[in-house]
Amino acid sequence: MSELIRLDIPLILSGVSDVQDDCVGRLIALLEGRDGVESVHVLRPGALPSDPAHAALLGGRVAIDEPQLCLHYDPERLTLGQVASLATLAGIQVGEQFGHVVIDFRMVGSEDDGRRLEAGLRSLRGVTAASVNFASQAARVEYDRHVVRYEEIVARLRSAGAKPTRLGRFQQAWLTRDESDRRLYANLRGQSVAEQHAVSPTANAIESSGLSPEGDGGTKTEPSSGQAPETAVDSEHEHEDSETGSEDASWYQRNRELAWSLTAGAFMLLARIVARPGTPAATALYVVAYFFGARDNVSHLLKDLRRGHFHFNIDLLMVIAAIGAAFLGEWFEGALLLFLFSLGHALEHYALGRARNAIKALGDLAPSRAKVLRNGTESIVAIEEVRVGDRVVVKPAERIAVDGTVFEGRSSVNQAPITGESVPVEKEKGGQVFAGSVNGDGALVIDVTGGVGDRTLDRVIKLVAEASTQKAPTQQFTDRFERIFVPTVLIADLALMVIPPLLGFWPWSVSIYRAMALLVAASPCALALGTPAAVLAGIAQAARKGVLIKGGMHLEVLGTIRVLALDKTGTITKGEPEVTDIVALDGVSESQILEAAGAVERRSQHPLAQAIMRAAATRNISVPDASDVEAVTARGVHGRVGADRVEVGRLLMFEDNGAAVTQTVRDAVARLEAAGRSTMVVRRLADGNVTRNDGRAATAGWLGVIGIADEPRENAAATLKQLRAAGIMRIVMLTGDNRGVGDAVGKAVGVDEVRAGLLPEDKVTAIKELATQGRVAMVGDGVNDAPALAHASVGIAMGGMGTAAALETADVALMGDDLGRLPFVIALSHQARSIIRQNLYVSLGVIALLSVATIAGFARIGPAVIVHEGSTLAVIANALRLLAFKEKSV
How far apart, in whole angstroms, are the C-alpha atoms of residue 258 and residue 252? 9
Instruction: Assess contact for 562 and 774: CB atoms under 8 A.
Output: yes
Query: Which stretches of 135-197 are DSSP H helices?
Result: 150-159, 179-186
Instruction: Assess contact for 610 and 578: CB atoms under 8 A.
Output: no
How far apart, in whole angstroms, are the C-alpha atoms of residue 741 and residue 468? 42
How far apart, in whole angstroms, are the C-alpha atoms of residue 417 and residue 460? 12
Q: b or e along 197-228 (b: 16 or more beta carbons within 10 Å of the residue's beta carbon)?
A: bbbbbbbebbbebebbbeeeeeeebebbbeee
How far apart, in whole angstroms, are the C-alpha atoms of residue 827 and residue 538? 11
Instruction: Assess contact for 858 and 332: CB atoms under 8 A.
Output: no
How far apart, in whole angstroms, are the C-alpha atoms of residue 608 and residue 768? 28
Instruction: Assess contact for 204 and 223: CB atoms under 8 A.
Output: yes
Residue 823: its H or E element = helix 821-856
Name the residue among 97, 102, 194 with its Cα closest to residue 147: 97
Question: How large is the angle between the packed helices 256-273 and 280-306, nearest 10 degrees?
Answer: 150
Q: Is 813 left (phi over 0), alpha (psi -120 to 50) or beta?
A: beta
Residue 86: how many other CB atoms lie within 10 Å: 22
Alpha-carbon dihedral of residues 334, 338, 343, 345, nearest 10 degrees? 140
Question: How large is the angle between the packed helices 525-544 and 473-503, nearest 10 degrees?
Answer: 160
Instruction: Assess contact for 140 and 466: CB atoms under 8 A.
Output: yes
Instruction: Assess contact for 761 and 791: CB atoms under 8 A.
Output: no
Using a 10 angstrom Cβ sphere, with 0-12 exposed, 13-18 middle and 19 or more buried, the burial of residue 849 is: middle
Which residues lie below 8 Å from residue 69, measured CB to CB, with a gap of 6+?
6, 7, 8, 9, 12, 24, 27, 28, 40, 41, 42, 43, 87
Length of the chain: 890
Based on its alpha-carbon atoms, the radius of gyration of the chain, rounded to whole angstroms, reads 32
The DSSP output letter for 212 is B
Name the residue among 224, 227, 231, 230 with its Cα closest to residue 94: 224
Instruction: Please list the helix, strand and coil fractions of the chain in percent, rounded to the nearest 5, in that order.
Output: 50, 20, 35
How far apart, in whole angstroms, are the C-alpha atoms of residue 326 and residue 273? 18
Which residues lie below 8 Å from residue 284, measured CB to CB, with a gap of 6+?
none
Q: Which of 567, 743, 811, 817 is catalytic?
A: 567
How far apart, in whole angstroms, are the C-alpha atoms of residue 183 and residue 175? 10
Name the residue among 623, 615, 720, 737 with its Cα closest to residue 673: 737
How far apart, in whole angstroms, are the C-alpha atoms of residue 154 and residue 808? 28
Residue 563 pairs with which residues in a beta bridge? 730, 776
State the number of CA atoms in the 13 A half-sphere of 479 facing the CB: 19
3-state secondary structure of 405: strand
Establish whether 181 is a catalytic residue. no
Instruction: Assess contact for 163 and 106: CB atoms under 8 A.
Output: yes
How far apart, in whole angstroms, are the C-alpha atoms of residue 41 and residue 28? 7
Residue 703: its H or E element = strand 701-709
Residue 394 pairs with which residues in a beta bridge? 444
Phi/psi at 568 (nearest 5 deg)? -80, -65
| Catalytic positions | 567
